[in-house]
C-alpha cells in the first residue's frame, strides 16, 4: 500500500499516532522536502520515528513518482509531507497515479497552514480564495493574484497569501548542462511579499493615469494602510504573529521561515478583540475603523 502522511507544522512530535504507527511498519519511508519544511531537520525526525528516511526532492516526487508507486505495489511505502497531504497539487497527482495503476493507498491528515492560520484570531469562514506569491526576478514579475485579492476584499473577505520557497532550484546556467547546479535555499518573508504587493499598487496607479477608461472606475484592491497579519513558524514554540499596515509589514522582520501573510477584509468585533494583542507598536488602534464588518 502507498501511504501519504501529513506531519503537521511544528516538529517531529506533531505526527499523529496513526501516522507514527504506519511509519514504523513500512518497508520504505520517503520525506518530501521541497513544498514545505519543518522547524527540525531529517535527523530529528529519524530519531523520534526510529526509522531511516529517504529524502524525496522535487525531481524524485515529480519525475520519479512511478518508481515510488511501483515499490508500493509490492510492499508498504510511505511519503511524509509537511502539513497536510493535500496542501500541494503534487500530492493530488500522486494519488491519481496510484488509482490509475490500481495501487491501494491511504491518506493520514494533519494540521496545515490552511486551518492553523486561525491562531491569529481571524475566523476561517471569513477567508476568500487563497493566493500564492512567487519570487520576482528582473524579467518575470507576475501579479495575477492581485485580482484575486481584490475580489476577496470586495466581498469583505480576508486573503491568505502563501509565500514562495525555493529548495533545490537549479541555476539558469546549469539548465543546459548534464550536471545540475542548485541555488541556495530561499524562503520568502512577509517583508519581501509586502514589498512586492506595494510595487503592484504603484504600477496600478501608474496604469490608471495612462488609461482614462480605467480611471473612471478605478479602485485599488488594498493600500499602504490596509491592515495585514504576518505569521512566522506557525505551530512551533517560536511562533510569531504581528498585525500592522502593509507599509509597516514591508519593514517587519519576523525571523526564520516559514512565513505567511494575510490581507484583511472586514473585521468582525470578535476578530478585532483578538487581533489587538498582535498590533505592532506603531500601528494605531484606529486601523480597525477602515475594516469594519457588518
CB 242 within 8 A of CB 254: yes
CB 117 within 8 A of CB 231: yes
SS3 category, 143: coil
Residues forming beta bridges with residue 97, ordered by sequence position = none
Tell me 124's DSSP state.
Answer: G
What pLDDT sits at residue 206?
86
User: Bigger pLDDT: 276 or 38?
Assistant: 276
Closest CA to 269 of 121, 116, 151: 121
What pLDDT sits at residue 23?
97
List residues forming the annotated binding site. Answer: 9, 84, 87, 112-113, 163, 234, 259
> What would the pLDDT profile of 143-199 be if each residue is shown by its tens digit?
999 999 999 999 999 999 999 998 777 777 766 777 777 778 899 999 999 999 999
Sequence ranges of the chain with CATH classification 3.30.950.10? 114-211+219-278
List residues forming the annotated binding site for S-adenosyl-L-methionine. Answer: 9, 84, 87, 112-113, 163, 234, 259
> What would the pLDDT profile of 97-153 be if each residue is shown by its tens digit?
999 999 999 999 999 999 999 999 999 999 999 999 999 998 999 999 999 999 999
Sequence ranges of the chain with CATH classification 3.40.1010.10? 2-111
**What is the spatial distance between Cα 58 and Cα 5, in angstroms, rounded to a whole number?**
17
Q: Which three cell numbers stand for residue 242?
A: 504581528
Q: According to CATH, what is the number of the domain 114-211+219-278? A: 3.30.950.10
Class of domain 2-111: alpha beta
What is the β-pairing status of strands 28-32 and 54-56? Answer: parallel
Residue 293's pLDDT band (cuts 50, 70, 90):
low
Amino acid at each position: 500500500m502507498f501511504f501519504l502522511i501529513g506531519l503537521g507544522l511544528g516538529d517531529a512530535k506533531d505526527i499523529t499516532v496513526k501516522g507514527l504507527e504506519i511509519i514504523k511498519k513500512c518497508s520504505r519511508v520517503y520525506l518530501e522536502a521541497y513544498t514545505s519544511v519543518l522547524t527540525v531537520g531529517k535527523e530529528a525526525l529519524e530519531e523520534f520515528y526510529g526509522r531511516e528516511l529517504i529524502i524525496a526532492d522535487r525531481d524524485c516526487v515529480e519525475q520519479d513518482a512511478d518508481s515510488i508507486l511501483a515499490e508500493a505495489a509490492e510492499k508498504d511505502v510511505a511519503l511524509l509531507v509537511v502539513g497536510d497531504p493535500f496542501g500541494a497539487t503534487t500530492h493530488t497527482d500522486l494519488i491519481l497515479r496510484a488509482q490509475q495503476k490500481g495501487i491501494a493507498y491511504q491518506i493520514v491528515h494533519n494540521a496545515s497552514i490552511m486551518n492553523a492560520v486561525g491562531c491569529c484570531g481571524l475566523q476561517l469562514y471569513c477567508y476568500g480564495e487563497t493566493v500564492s506569491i512567487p519570487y520576482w526576478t528582473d524579467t518575470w514579475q507576475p501579479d495575477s493574484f492581485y485580482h484575486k485579492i481584490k475580489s476577496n476584499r470586495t466581498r469583505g473577505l480576508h486573503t491568505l497569501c502563501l509565500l514562495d520557497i525555493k529548495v533545490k532550484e537549479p541555476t539558469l546556467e546549469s539548465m543546459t548542462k548534464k550536471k545540475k547546479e542548485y541555488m541556495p535555499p530561499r524562503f520568502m518573508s512577509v517583508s519581501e511579499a509586502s514589498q512586492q504587493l506595494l510595487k503592484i499598487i504603484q504600477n496600478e496607479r501608474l496604469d490608471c493615469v495612462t488609461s482614462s477608461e480605467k480611471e473612471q472606475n478605478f479602485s485599488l484592491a488594498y493600500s499602504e494602510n490596509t491592515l495585514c497579519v504576518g505569521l512566522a513558524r506557525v505551530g512551533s514554540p517560536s511562533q510569531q504573529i504581528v498585525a500592522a499596515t502593509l507599509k509597516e509589514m514591508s519593514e517587519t522582520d519576523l525571523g526564520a521561515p516559514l512565513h505567511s501573510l494575510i490581507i484583511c477584509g472586514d473585521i468582525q468585533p470578535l476578530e478585532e478583540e483578538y487581533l489587538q494583542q498582535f498590533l505592532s507598536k506603531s500601528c494605531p488602534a484606529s486601523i480597525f475603523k477602515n475594516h469594519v464588518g457588518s
